[in-house]
Chains A and B, each alone.
Chain A
Amino acid sequence: DSGVTQTPKHLITATGQRVTLRCSPRSGDLSVYWYQQSLDQGLQFLIQYYNGEERAKGNILERFSAQQFPDLHSELNLSSLELGDSALYFCASSALTEGGLLLGNEQFFGPGTRLTVL
């Protein structure tokens, strides 16, 4: 168990809908990352938040957005869903102090949310 939790475990929805995926990082981790894993694209980095602020963006669509709350949990919002958005969505966290001192740059992954768009 990595200490990162994600809910829900599975989500089935229809095209055009909007969903919210939730992630709680490991205790003490300030940095949260979102990834999408699909059969054709592999593991793709979407976005990173650090202590409530967006830090880096990867291959995230404009229909997708995320935020990190004061208690450090994060939500990934996916809207106007398309069939191609069906994938596993992972959240990860890593240990960075407020000063940016690197404690260990490995990321710890949650179990994922499997999204199926019908």
Chain B
Amino acid sequence: AQSVTQLDSHVSVSEGTPVLLRCNYSSSYSPSLFWYVQHPNKGLQLLLKYTSAATLVKGINGFEAEFKKSETSFHLTKPSAHMSDAAEYFCVVSHFSGGYNKLIFGAGTRLAVHP
């Protein structure tokens, strides 16, 4: 069975400092992994995805994530936080079988960025 754990419910950083949002997954298969971002009162936007190609995945807005099978982790990073990065971030594992594309969401990490 697939599951995903976001290790921090809240992360607070200063503008211009690095961001690290941690995610661990559990999957019986080779997983597809995603990070989605949700800004206040907005829908979910895909930041990046991993689908068994390169283990370092680059996404939009300067974010990237590294798939580490040995650690079952898919942490999201950004070298320098911007005020506009303040949002909720969801780590997601996907399993596709029989025409059913099931996404399992983590509980979310709320990122606050301070001036």
Interface residues of A (CB under 8 A from B): 2, 4, 31, 33, 42-43, 45, 48, 50, 55-56, 90, 92, 94, 96, 100, 102, 105-112, 114
With both chains docked as a complex, state the minimum distance between the C-beta of A84 and any C-beta of chain B, in angstroms: 19
Size range of the interface on B? Answer: 20 to 34
Counted as pairs of residues, one from A and one from B, with CB atoms less than 8 Å apart, the total is 53
B29 contacts chain A at the CB level, 8 A cutoff = no
Which secondary structure dominates chain B's binding surface?
strand
> Of A2, A45, A96, which is within 8 A of B43 by CB?
A2
Instruction: Tell me if B43 and A100 are in contact (CB < 8 A).
Output: no
**Residues of A close to B17: CB separation below 8 A:** none
Bound-complex Cα distance A110 to B36 (A): 13
Q: A109-B44, A109-B45 are in contact. List 5 more A-B contacts (CB 8 A).
A: A43-B108, A48-B101, A56-B102, A96-B99, A109-B36
